[in-house]
Structures are given as C-alpha cells and as structure tokens.
Structure 1
Amino acid sequence: MITTRDIAERLGISVSTVGRALSDDPRISEETKFRVRQAASEMGYVGNRAARMMRGASSNVVALVIPDIRNSFYSTIAHELSTNMEAEGFQLMLSETDDDRMVELRHLRELSANRVAGVIIVPTARPHAESVKLLKAVPHLQLLRRHPSLGSQWFGVDDHEALRRATAHLVSLGHTRVAYLGGPEELPTGAERLRGFRSALSEGGLPDDAGRTELGPPSSVDHGRQAVRRLLKGPDAPTALVLGSIQLTLGVLEELSAQRVKVPGELSVVGFGDEPGFSWWGPGLTTIGLPIQEMATGCALWLMRRLKTKPVNDGPYTSVSPGSLVLRGSTAPPDGRTVSRSV
C-alpha cells in the first residue's frame, strides 16, 4: 500500500508537508500541493479516512435514511441526491428502515459512530428518543415526512392539496361513491393525504359516508391488492378510487388487471406517483405527479450549504413543493354501473 512516506521520498519533501498538502493546508504553496496530488494520483495513493476521522476530521459521507428502497420515489430521490452531492465532493450512503423505529435507531447509531457529515431522513411514525438525540448531534433534515421532535428543517410535498385536487377531479366527474386507499394517519403524510381526500368530498357537497377509506402500510403492494378486493365487494362498491402511495398503486393496478375490472367503465382510478409504466397501463393512468427532482435538488443544496458554512444555529426551514394532477384515460363520469366482485 502506498503511504505518505512513499510520496515524500519520491518528491524529496517531508511526510508532514505531504500530509498538509493533501489536506489543503493554506501554509503549503499551490505548486507543492499540485506536485503532491499529481504524485499521489500516479502512485495510486488512497487516503486513510478512518485515521483522519480519529484525529477529528469530518467525513464526506451523507446518509439517506428511507423506509423502502423498492419504492421508486425513494430510489429516484437517492439517485438525484447522489448526483448533486458527488458534484460537491460528497458521497451518499443509503440506509433502509422498513418503517421500523428500532431499525432506524440501529442505523442512526452506526451512522453516528462513523461520523457521517449529515443525514437526510424520512422518519418513522414515532422515532425513538435516542434517535432524536443522535440526530441533534449531526446536521440533518427531514424529507417528505415531518416529525416535530426532529427539528424544523423539512422538504416535502403539499400532500393535502395533491389529494384534494385528485379527489375533486373525481367528484367533478359526478362520482358520489369515492374510496381512498392510503397510509395510516399516524404518519404525517398519511394524515395530510386523508385530510385532502375528505376536504374534497366536503367541498363537493357529499355526505361523510360518500367516501370509504382503507388505510394500511403505504409500502405494501400486497396491502393494495387486498384492500381493493375488499372495496369492490358488495352493492355499495365505489365507482372511483384515489390512491395515496406508489406501492399501493402498483398493488391496486395488478389486482384490477387480474380481475379484469374495466377502467374507467366500471371504476375510475387516480394513482399516486408517475411510474414509467403508468402512462401505458390500460387506458393510461390518471395520477398525482411528484416533484422528485425539485425536492432532491433542494435537499442537496440546503445540506451542502449547511455543511460548508457550518452555522452555529440552524433556523427553521421549510420547503413545500406542489404535486400535479396528470390526466390520462383512467377517469370518466360514472355510467350508473357498479363493479361487485366476490373475491
């Protein structure tokens, strides 16, 4: 393994000068820094970051803590964040919690022990008290979900308005039996999306019982399948369905295809997220588009500024991006028929 001593011997300078040049010490001339870096590159030198961290140096690693990498929203966010941070000399590390607060805590312990430079987190519904303490010691921000115990730096989507618009679209078409399938109310995103759904029904003059709800794990494709089976049973089955997560949307679309439900003839559907396949599923899925690139770029820029300027105290910062309603062929006025399945 090539060491700083090897570089020093090649250039005829001291080991300490090599170390200072590699760490961009202002006491070393630009010419010497250039010679040292060029020699290090030619010789295949790899710096010992662990040793530097033991001496108090900071890491260049930023952690992204998310519930489920299978969700394309999070994988796309990870890609965009990685691209932005690579340009600034930082590396993105991924941690997956499966929405388990104890798994979240274990990851945060390891990240803290490895002195990560910062953390971007989609928190669980009830973060552990130790998780809160660990995050207070490192620059961090919350993404999509916001928990009050984790500070006031948050980048999210206007979930209430996104679901309100999607549901209002169905009500405007004449649907009076509309169902919502989304995440639990204990998640801030779940609560806001459900509130948006109910607001649209109320604004449309529909009674409370006009909207049925099926709430459950937002990252479960299987929950989407099972929930839509329940919703389609009986004579009061909904004529329209609005969805509150990408994974649930995937499960619902699979089940509707398996049961050969005619969309939008028997059931109008508004999905969540805009996967590449959604544009050609059936008649094309009307769905809620998410501002993924805008959010990822905003997160990266805010955190990079925070890491470079090192302010003594972070003031509150909130960035709320609007969703969009992408109109395709999966929604239409009800024709009086209902779909009832004995699954």
Structure 2
Amino acid sequence: MAVSLKDVARLAGVSIKTVSNVVNNSPAVSAATAARVRAALEALDYRPNISARGLRTGRTDLIALAIPALDEPYFAELSGLIVEAAARQGWTVLIEQTGGDRGLERQAAAGSRFHRIDGCIACPLALTGADVVELAGQRPLVLLGERFPRPAADHVAVDSVQAAREVTRHLIELGRRRIAFIGEQPATRIGGVRLAGYRSALVEAGHRLDEDLILPTGPFRRTEGAAAMTRLLAGRQLPDAVVCASDLLAVGALRTLLSAGVRVPEEVAVTGFDDIEEARYCTPSLTTVAPDKAGIAETAVELLCRRLRERSAGPPVDVVAGHRLQVRESTAGAAVTSGPPR
C-alpha cells in the first residue's frame, strides 16, 4: 500500500495540512516541525502521488527539456545544469532528444511525447516562427539558442555575433591575417550568426574577405571539423588561423593539423565556441568562447517558473546571457583568461 499524507501526519504528530505544507516547501511551518515531518517522510519512504496532485493543483511538477543531441558535450553539460536548477524549484525534468527534427521538437514542446508536462525548455533547430507562436499559446515555453531573433516565447541566448567578433578580433590582434572560418550552416542560425561576427571583425580591421576560407559543414561534429581542415590543407595557401563555430569542429580541425605536422599555434592558430570540458584537456588546450552555461540554465528555469507560478501572460522576455573569451594554448601558447562573463 502506498504511504499517504495521513500516515505521515500520524507518525509526526501533526495535521495533514502541515505535512502538505512541508511537502510543497511552504514557509508556513516552523523549522522544528518541518524537521519532524521530513523525518517521518523518510522513515515511511513517502512518495508523492503525481497524478493525484496534478488533478488537485493543475500541475504535475514535470517539465520537458528538448535538445538536439545528448551525445554533444555542450548539450549534455547544459542539460545537467538545467536539471540541477529545476530540482531546486521542486521540478522533475524529462529530457527529449529531438535530433533537430521539427516533428519531435513540436511534440516535446506540446507535451504529446509525455503524459503531462507543465512547460518546456527547448533548444530548437527546426521549429518555425509560426510553430513557436502556436506552442507558446498552449503552455509555458522557454527557447534557448539562436534560432529566433525575436521569438514569441521567452528566450535565452548568448550574443553569438559579438562573441564571434571578439574571438576573430583576438586572432587579428595576434597578427593573424589569413583567417578561415569552419562551420557555415545556411540551414540554421547557429553557424550563420557566428559567421556574421567573423565577417564583421574582418571588415572592421580592414581585412579582405576571402570566400574560399569560409567552409560549410554538416552537424557540428569532430569529423566535420577534420574534413573541413583537410580541404583547407589542400588549398593553395594555408590559413594562419581558423575560427570554428563549435569546439567539436575545432577539436577535429586540431587533429587534422597535428596529423599533417602543422604546428599549433605557431603556424595555425585555432579557436572554438562553447568551452566544453574537452577544450580544456585537448592538446593543445583550445581557445574558445565560453558561454555562461550555469547562468543560461538558471535564467531559463526562472523564466519558466515565473510563467507557471505567477500565471504570467506578459510579453516574451529576451535575455542575453553572458560569455567570455577563454584564451588557451591553441592561440597564445599558454593558458590565460581574458575576463569574467558579461
């Protein structure tokens, strides 16, 4: 038989209402009484009846997190931070891997992949603006990433144009003149906005834009970065620096350069984007744009919390998350940090 609130109340010597207040983290219970109730909850191994609570409160305390790929380090790290932030709010996170498929992204945001969810945090690659308008009208939705410049739902993203401009400017200030870009993706905003920042920095510095140095890729994988670097090595003149639209692309490019006997950073400097753990431990360590992943996670959960608990129906909030340029051996030959997130 499942343990009920009545059972817990009897053991703790309090009312059922008091037990309910403790379970729901209400401040209306004294610390001593709350401790006694929690001890009873643990002793009886109490588990809340989510279905019953959902019928009573209209909430399940379940939220969905829709990401393109669990095996991509950036999304794995961000997912862990979101799960931790949601747990502090008393929520359970159901993670959906979408593969960038529009149908799966729609299903995750609508809650049709699960029995019931209160809201969704999503990093979409394929949703349209019309999709977002429709889905945000059904339940609270927070978007991550750079897919939508002015979405109809709350949105948290790094200013990738500015970040890419900064990392390109860093290479220019080091005296690099023939700077390539790996990761153009016309079908998504991610590669596009980072390419825009790269272009902007070159124009500002008075450098000529060489379209032969801009290499498109498929998904941001190590193999794609390695293949793009192989194409650059086969060109008439080797670039002296490469801006990669993600760390995984940069790791693949590094592998190809080192296998070809090209010294990094002496002959070719390499930069990435995302500051995944691998960037700190590859050889040489990777200079990269480091998004404030913890801040992104906390902000996304806070926005969803506001929509759910305050029943807020105000206009969408667009939050620009912080980032910093993390300079390491792949450009400077020594690991240093340029400054705190902004």
TM-score bracket, shorter-length normalisation: 0.7 to 0.9
List per-residue Cα deviations over 1:170-225 (Å, max 9, x = no partner).
22333332111125133222221111011111111122226621122343221111
State how far apart, in whole Å, the 2-side matches of 1:249 and 1:175 are. Answer: 17
Whether the 8 Å contact between 1:228 and 1:255 is mirrored in structure 2 is: yes
Shift of 1:22: 5.8
Give the partner amino acid of 1:305: R
TM-score (norm 2): 0.81
Q: How does 1:133-152 map to 2 (within 5 A)?
A: 133-147=134-148, 151-152=152-153
List per-residue Cα deviations over 1:155-174 (Å, max 9, x = no partner).
11010011111112222333
Shift of 1:30: 6.7
Aligned to 1:338: none
List per-residue Cα deviations over 1:269-305 (Å, max 9, x = no partner).
1122323343453343222222111212222222223
Whether the 8 Å contact between 2:133 and 2:153 is mirrored in structure 1 is: no
Instruction: Report percent identity of matched pairs.
Output: 30
Q: How does 1:58-97 map to 2 (within 5 A)?
A: 58-97=59-98
Superposition RMSD on alpha carbons, in Å? 3.3
The structure whose RCO (Cα within 8 Å, separation 6+) is larger is 1
State how far apart, in whole Å, the 1-side matches of 2:110 and 2:90 are. Answer: 24
Shift of 1:56: 6.4
Whether the 8 Å contact between 1:176 and 1:210 is mirrored in structure 2 is: no
Whether the 8 Å contact between 1:177 and 1:210 is mirrored in structure 2 is: no
Shift of 1:23: 4.9
Aligned to 1:302: 303
Aligned to 2:271: 270
State how far apart, in whole Å, the 2-side matches of 1:174 and 1:5 are. Answer: 69
Structure 2 SS opposite 1:182 = strand
Stretches of structure 1 lacking an aligned partner (at least 5 in a row): 334-343
Structure 2 SS opposite 1:79 = helix
Whether the 8 Å contact between 1:67 and 1:97 is mirrored in structure 2 is: yes
Whether the 8 Å contact between 2:124 and 2:147 is mirrored in structure 1 is: yes
State how far apart, in whole Å, the 2-side matches of 1:238 and 1:112 are. Answer: 47
Residues 8 and 142 of structure 1, relative CA distance in 2, 3 Å threshold: closer
Shift of 1:10: 6.4
Whether the 8 Å contact between 1:269 and 1:286 is mirrored in structure 2 is: yes
Aligned residues: 324
Residues 270 and 50 of structure 1, relative CA distance in 2, 3 Å threshold: same
Structure 2 SS opposite 1:78 = helix
State how far apart, in whole Å, the 2-side matches of 1:256 and 1:45 are. Answer: 57
Give the partner amino acid of 2:326: V
Aligned to 1:327: 327
Whether the 8 Å contact between 1:178 and 1:210 is mirrored in structure 2 is: no
Structure 1 SS opposite 2:229 = helix
Structure 1 window deviating more from structure 2 (158-167 vs 284-293): it is 284-293
Structure 2 SS opposite 1:229 = helix
State how far apart, in whole Å, the 1-side matches of 2:228 and 2:107 are. Answer: 32
Give the partner amino acid of 1:320: V
Stretches of structure 2 lacking an aligned partner (at least 5 in a row): 334-342
List per-residue Cα deviations over 1:71-120 (Å, max 9, x = no partner).
22222222222222212211122111111212323434545752212211
Whether the 8 Å contact between 1:288 and 1:323 is mirrored in structure 2 is: yes
Aligned to 1:235: 236
State how far apart, in whole Å, the 2-side matches of 1:203 and 1:9 are. Answer: 69
State how far apart, in whole Å, the 2-side matches of 1:266 and 1:5 are. Answer: 69
Aligned to 1:166: 167
Give the partner amino acid of 2:311: K
Structure 1 SS opposite 2:329 = coil
Give the partner amino acid of 1:246: D
Give the partner amino acid of 1:249: A
Whether the 8 Å contact between 1:178 and 1:240 is mirrored in structure 2 is: yes
Residues 5 and 207 of structure 1, relative CA distance in 2, 3 Å threshold: closer
Structure 2 SS opposite 1:330 = helix
Structure 1 SS opposite 2:215 = strand
Structure 1 SS opposite 2:330 = coil
List per-residue Cα deviations over 1:225-283 (Å, max 9, x = no partner).
11111111122232210111122123222323333321122211112232334345334
Aligned to 1:194: 195
Residues 216 and 54 of structure 1, relative CA distance in 2, 3 Å threshold: farther
State how far apart, in whole Å, the 2-side matches of 1:4 and 1:209 are. Answer: 70
Structure 1 window deviating more from structure 2 (163-172 vs 119-128): it is 119-128
Residues 7 and 279 of structure 1, relative CA distance in 2, 3 Å threshold: closer
> Which structure: larger Rg?
1
Structure 1 window deviating more from structure 2 (223-232 vs 250-259): it is 250-259
Aligned to 1:341: none
**Aligned pair 1:57/2:47, yes or no?**
no
TM-score (norm 1): 0.81
State how far apart, in whole Å, the 1-side matches of 2:220 and 2:314 are. Answer: 32
Structure 2 SS opposite 1:92 = strand
State how far apart, in whole Å, the 2-side matches of 1:331 and 1:5 are. Answer: 60
Whether the 8 Å contact between 2:110 and 2:138 is mirrored in structure 1 is: no
Aligned to 1:257: 258
Whether the 8 Å contact between 1:263 and 1:282 is mirrored in structure 2 is: no
State how far apart, in whole Å, the 1-side matches of 2:97 and 2:104 are. Answer: 8
Give the partner amino acid of 1:81: I
